[in-house]
Chains A and B, each alone.
Chain A
Amino acid sequence: DTAVSQTPKYLVTQMGNDKSIKCEQNLGHDTMYWYKQDSKKFLKIMFSYNNKELIINETVPNRFSPKSPDKAHLNLHINSLELGDSAVYFCASSQDPREVETQYFGPGTRLLVL
Protein backbone atom coordinates (compact mmCIF):
# COMPACT_ATOMS: atom_id res chain seq x y z
CA ASP A 1 0.00 0.00 0.00
CA THR A 2 1.31 3.43 -0.94
CA ALA A 3 1.74 5.64 2.15
CA VAL A 4 1.31 8.98 0.37
CA SER A 5 -0.18 8.95 -3.10
CA GLN A 6 -0.66 11.75 -5.59
CA THR A 7 -2.70 12.00 -8.77
CA PRO A 8 -1.90 12.63 -11.48
CA LYS A 9 1.79 11.74 -11.75
CA TYR A 10 2.19 13.85 -14.86
CA LEU A 11 0.22 16.88 -15.94
CA VAL A 12 0.79 18.75 -19.20
CA THR A 13 -1.46 21.71 -19.81
CA GLN A 14 -1.73 25.06 -21.53
CA MET A 15 -1.18 28.47 -19.97
CA GLY A 16 -4.32 29.92 -18.49
CA ASN A 17 -5.93 26.58 -17.65
CA ASP A 18 -7.09 25.54 -14.19
CA LYS A 19 -5.90 22.22 -12.79
CA SER A 20 -6.02 20.21 -9.57
CA ILE A 21 -3.62 17.78 -7.95
CA LYS A 22 -4.88 15.32 -5.36
CA CYS A 23 -3.05 13.82 -2.41
CA GLU A 24 -4.03 11.06 -0.03
CA GLN A 25 -2.16 9.51 2.90
CA ASN A 26 -2.98 6.29 4.71
CA LEU A 27 -0.48 6.73 7.54
CA GLY A 28 -2.97 8.19 9.99
CA HIS A 29 -0.95 11.40 10.15
CA ASP A 30 -2.49 14.66 11.30
CA THR A 31 -0.39 17.04 9.18
CA MET A 32 -0.10 17.35 5.42
CA TYR A 33 2.02 19.59 3.21
CA TRP A 34 2.50 20.81 -0.33
CA TYR A 35 6.01 21.52 -1.60
CA LYS A 36 7.21 22.85 -4.95
CA GLN A 37 10.53 21.73 -6.46
CA ASP A 38 11.74 23.83 -9.35
CA SER A 39 14.02 22.87 -12.23
CA LYS A 40 17.09 23.64 -10.10
CA LYS A 41 15.96 21.13 -7.50
CA PHE A 42 15.07 23.83 -4.96
CA LEU A 43 12.36 22.38 -2.71
CA LYS A 44 10.17 24.90 -0.94
CA ILE A 45 7.16 24.52 1.29
CA MET A 46 3.93 26.09 0.06
CA PHE A 47 1.22 25.07 2.53
CA SER A 48 0.66 22.92 5.57
CA TYR A 49 -2.55 21.68 7.14
CA ASN A 50 -2.97 20.17 10.58
CA ASN A 51 -6.25 18.39 11.23
CA LYS A 52 -7.77 20.14 8.23
CA GLU A 53 -6.68 23.59 9.42
CA LEU A 54 -4.19 25.73 7.51
CA ILE A 55 -1.08 26.32 9.64
CA ILE A 56 1.57 27.31 7.08
CA ASN A 57 0.85 29.56 4.14
CA GLU A 58 4.04 30.71 2.47
CA THR A 59 4.26 33.55 0.00
CA VAL A 60 2.41 31.79 -2.77
CA PRO A 61 0.26 33.47 -5.47
CA ASN A 62 -3.41 33.29 -4.57
CA ARG A 63 -3.94 31.35 -7.80
CA PHE A 64 -2.91 28.38 -5.64
CA SER A 65 -5.62 27.18 -3.30
CA PRO A 66 -5.24 24.14 -1.07
CA LYS A 67 -8.23 22.25 0.25
CA SER A 68 -8.32 19.60 2.95
CA PRO A 69 -11.66 17.77 3.04
CA ASP A 70 -10.39 15.50 5.82
CA LYS A 71 -7.13 14.61 7.58
CA ALA A 72 -6.17 12.06 4.97
CA HIS A 73 -6.55 14.30 1.93
CA LEU A 74 -4.98 17.54 0.79
CA ASN A 75 -5.68 18.80 -2.71
CA LEU A 76 -4.10 21.67 -4.57
CA HIS A 77 -6.03 23.70 -7.12
CA ILE A 78 -4.17 26.06 -9.42
CA ASN A 79 -6.00 28.73 -11.42
CA SER A 80 -4.77 30.50 -14.54
CA LEU A 81 -1.63 28.43 -14.89
CA GLU A 82 1.57 30.23 -15.87
CA LEU A 83 4.81 28.99 -17.43
CA GLY A 84 6.59 29.53 -14.11
CA ASP A 85 4.28 27.06 -12.40
CA SER A 86 6.08 24.23 -14.21
CA ALA A 87 7.71 22.18 -11.46
CA VAL A 88 7.37 19.00 -9.46
CA TYR A 89 4.81 19.29 -6.68
CA PHE A 90 5.29 17.00 -3.70
CA CYS A 91 2.70 16.22 -1.10
CA ALA A 92 3.94 15.06 2.30
CA SER A 93 2.51 14.11 5.65
CA SER A 94 3.79 13.88 9.20
CA GLN A 95 2.53 12.68 12.57
CA ASP A 96 2.11 16.29 13.72
CA PRO A 97 3.71 19.64 12.78
CA ARG A 98 6.58 19.25 15.27
CA GLU A 99 7.58 15.73 14.29
CA VAL A 100 9.47 16.60 11.14
CA GLU A 101 11.31 13.28 11.31
CA THR A 102 8.06 11.49 10.53
CA GLN A 103 7.49 13.56 7.39
CA TYR A 104 6.98 11.27 4.40
CA PHE A 105 6.88 12.51 0.82
CA GLY A 106 4.61 11.36 -1.96
CA PRO A 107 5.97 10.45 -5.42
CA GLY A 108 5.42 13.91 -6.86
CA THR A 109 3.33 15.38 -9.67
CA ARG A 110 5.29 16.68 -12.62
CA LEU A 111 3.50 19.72 -14.00
CA LEU A 112 4.46 21.19 -17.36
CA VAL A 113 2.74 24.37 -18.50
CA LEU A 114 3.06 25.09 -22.23
Chain B
Amino acid sequence: QKEVEQNSGPLSVPEGAIASLNCTYSDRGSQSFFWYRQYSGKSPELIMSIYSNGDKEDGRFTAQLNKASQYVSLLIRDSQPSDSATYLCALTGTASKLTFGTGTRLQVTL
Protein backbone atom coordinates (compact mmCIF):
# COMPACT_ATOMS: atom_id res chain seq x y z
CA GLN B 1 0.00 0.00 0.00
CA LYS B 2 1.34 3.41 -0.95
CA GLU B 3 1.89 5.84 1.89
CA VAL B 4 0.00 8.64 0.17
CA GLU B 5 -2.65 7.87 -2.42
CA GLN B 6 -4.15 10.20 -4.98
CA ASN B 7 -6.23 9.60 -8.06
CA SER B 8 -3.96 10.46 -10.98
CA GLY B 9 -6.80 11.97 -13.01
CA PRO B 10 -7.12 13.91 -15.13
CA LEU B 11 -9.88 15.62 -13.23
CA SER B 12 -11.73 17.85 -15.64
CA VAL B 13 -13.91 20.70 -14.35
CA PRO B 14 -15.48 23.61 -16.21
CA GLU B 15 -14.32 27.15 -15.53
CA GLY B 16 -16.09 28.60 -12.49
CA ALA B 17 -16.86 25.22 -10.93
CA ILE B 18 -15.45 23.73 -7.71
CA ALA B 19 -12.58 21.30 -8.12
CA SER B 20 -12.28 18.69 -5.38
CA LEU B 21 -8.97 16.88 -4.98
CA ASN B 22 -8.61 14.02 -2.55
CA CYS B 23 -5.79 12.25 -0.78
CA THR B 24 -5.63 9.34 1.66
CA TYR B 25 -2.67 8.25 3.72
CA SER B 26 -1.68 5.13 5.60
CA ASP B 27 0.44 6.35 8.52
CA ARG B 28 -1.72 7.40 11.47
CA GLY B 29 1.31 9.14 12.97
CA SER B 30 1.36 11.70 10.14
CA GLN B 31 1.35 15.17 11.59
CA SER B 32 1.42 17.87 8.94
CA PHE B 33 -0.24 17.94 5.56
CA PHE B 34 0.47 20.00 2.48
CA TRP B 35 -0.81 20.65 -1.00
CA TYR B 36 1.65 21.57 -3.74
CA ARG B 37 0.81 22.78 -7.22
CA GLN B 38 3.11 21.80 -10.07
CA TYR B 39 2.72 23.25 -13.54
CA SER B 40 4.05 21.17 -16.41
CA GLY B 41 7.82 21.46 -16.62
CA LYS B 42 8.04 23.49 -13.41
CA SER B 43 8.89 22.83 -9.79
CA PRO B 44 6.32 22.19 -7.03
CA GLU B 45 5.11 25.21 -5.09
CA LEU B 46 3.37 25.09 -1.73
CA ILE B 47 -0.20 26.39 -1.82
CA MET B 48 -1.76 25.10 1.42
CA SER B 49 -0.76 23.53 4.70
CA ILE B 50 -3.02 22.07 7.37
CA TYR B 51 -2.14 20.63 10.75
CA SER B 52 -5.38 19.98 12.63
CA ASN B 53 -8.75 18.46 11.82
CA GLY B 54 -11.23 20.68 10.05
CA ASP B 55 -11.10 23.23 7.29
CA LYS B 56 -8.55 25.88 6.44
CA GLU B 57 -9.37 28.52 3.88
CA ASP B 58 -7.03 30.73 1.88
CA GLY B 59 -8.64 32.70 -0.91
CA ARG B 60 -10.21 30.29 -3.39
CA PHE B 61 -8.51 27.31 -1.74
CA THR B 62 -9.83 25.26 1.17
CA ALA B 63 -7.92 22.36 2.70
CA GLN B 64 -9.83 19.80 4.73
CA LEU B 65 -8.29 17.29 7.12
CA ASN B 66 -9.89 14.29 8.80
CA LYS B 67 -7.27 12.36 10.76
CA ALA B 68 -9.72 9.69 11.90
CA SER B 69 -10.46 8.80 8.28
CA GLN B 70 -6.84 9.50 7.21
CA TYR B 71 -8.11 11.81 4.53
CA VAL B 72 -7.09 15.25 3.31
CA SER B 73 -8.67 17.19 0.50
CA LEU B 74 -8.28 20.43 -1.42
CA LEU B 75 -11.21 22.40 -2.79
CA ILE B 76 -10.65 25.05 -5.43
CA ARG B 77 -13.60 27.38 -5.83
CA ASP B 78 -14.30 29.34 -9.01
CA SER B 79 -11.76 27.24 -10.92
CA GLN B 80 -9.76 29.11 -13.53
CA PRO B 81 -7.82 27.79 -16.55
CA SER B 82 -4.68 28.95 -14.73
CA ASP B 83 -5.45 26.35 -12.03
CA SER B 84 -4.75 23.58 -14.56
CA ALA B 85 -1.77 21.77 -13.09
CA THR B 86 -0.82 18.66 -11.13
CA TYR B 87 -1.65 18.87 -7.43
CA LEU B 88 0.59 16.93 -5.09
CA CYS B 89 -0.53 15.90 -1.63
CA ALA B 90 2.31 15.60 0.89
CA LEU B 91 2.71 14.92 4.57
CA THR B 92 5.30 14.65 7.30
CA GLY B 93 5.54 12.36 10.28
CA THR B 94 7.85 12.65 13.25
CA ALA B 95 10.88 12.74 10.96
CA SER B 96 9.85 16.02 9.27
CA LYS B 97 10.48 14.29 5.97
CA LEU B 98 8.06 15.16 3.16
CA THR B 99 6.31 12.15 1.63
CA PHE B 100 4.43 12.88 -1.57
CA GLY B 101 1.55 11.29 -3.41
CA THR B 102 1.76 10.80 -7.17
CA GLY B 103 -0.44 13.82 -7.81
CA THR B 104 -3.77 14.54 -9.47
CA ARG B 105 -3.80 16.31 -12.80
CA LEU B 106 -6.48 19.01 -12.93
CA GLN B 107 -7.80 20.39 -16.19
CA VAL B 108 -10.05 23.43 -16.08
CA THR B 109 -11.96 23.74 -19.31
CA LEU B 110 -13.38 26.91 -20.87
Interface residues in chain A, defined as those with a beta carbon under 8 Å from any beta carbon in chain B: 40-45, 48, 56, 90, 97-98, 100-101, 103, 105-108
Contacts and interface: CB of A to CB of B under 8 A. Distances in A.
B7 to A, nearest CB: 13
Given A56-B97, A100-B92, A100-B96, A106 B43 contact: yes
A27 to B, nearest CB: 14
A29 to B, nearest CB: 14
Given A90-B44, A100-B92, A101-B34, 14 more contacts: A40-B8, A41-B38, A41-B86, A41-B88, A41-B102, A42-B103, A43-B100, A45-B97, A45-B99, A100-B96, A100-B98, A101-B46, A105-B43, A105-B45
A43 B97 contact: no
B43 A108 contact: yes
Given A40-B102, A43-B88, A90 B96 contact: no
A107 B98 contact: no
Interface residues of B, number: 21
26 contacts: A40-B102, A41-B38, A41-B86, A41-B88, A41-B103, A42-B100, A42-B102, A43-B88, A43-B100, A45-B97, A45-B99, A48-B97, A56-B95, A90-B44, A97-B96, A100-B32, A100-B34, A100-B49, A100-B92, A100-B96, A101-B46, A103-B46, A105-B44, A105-B45, A106-B43, A107-B42
Given A41-B103, A90-B43, A103 B86 contact: no
Nearest to A90: B43
Interface string B93-110: 001111110110000000
A20 B49 CA distance: 33
B96 A98 contact: yes
Contacts of A105: 43-45
